[in-house]
Amino acid sequence: MSNWKKFTIAFTESWLAFFIATFAIALYFSRITTYDLTTILISIGVIGLYLFVLIFCIHRLVTRLPIAVLMLLVPIAPLMILLFLVASLPIIQRLSS
C-alpha cells in the first residue's frame, strides 16, 4: 500500500472517530434534564471517554502523518471542527426533542 493511502486511511479513521464522539457527547448533553449525582457521575465518565478518543486521534495522526501534513492540518482542523458542529446542530436539536 502506498504512503498516501496509509495517510488517507489514518486521517479518515481518526476524523470519523472524533466526529462520532463529538456528535455522541453533544447529543448526550442536549438530552440531560435532571442534574442529580448520578447524572453528574455519568457526565464525568462520558467526558473521560471523549478525552480518551480525542487523545487517541491526536496521537494516531501525529505518529502516522508526516510533519508537512501536520503543518497544513493544524490551521485547517479547527475550522473543520467548527463547520461540523454548526452543521450538526439541527440534527442534534431534532434528535433531542
Confidence of residue 46 (pLDDT cuts 50, 70, 90): very high
Per-residue pLDDT at 80: 86
Alpha carbon separation from 88 to 12, 43, 58, 63 (Å, rounded): 18, 21, 22, 29
Average pLDDT over the chain, rounded to an integer? 89
**Is residue 1 very low, low, confident or very high in pLDDT (cuts 50, 70, 90)?**
low
Q: What is the largest CA-CA distance in the chain?
A: 52
pLDDT at site 55: 95
Spatial separation of the C-alpha atoms in residues 29 and 69, rounded to whole Å: 33
d(CA 49, CA 60): 16
Q: Which of 24, 14, 13, 23 is nearest to 55 (CA)?
A: 14
- Summarize pLDDT for 12-33 with one digit per residue, the tens: 898 899 989 998 998 898 888 8
The mean pLDDT of 36-60, rounded to a whole number, is 93
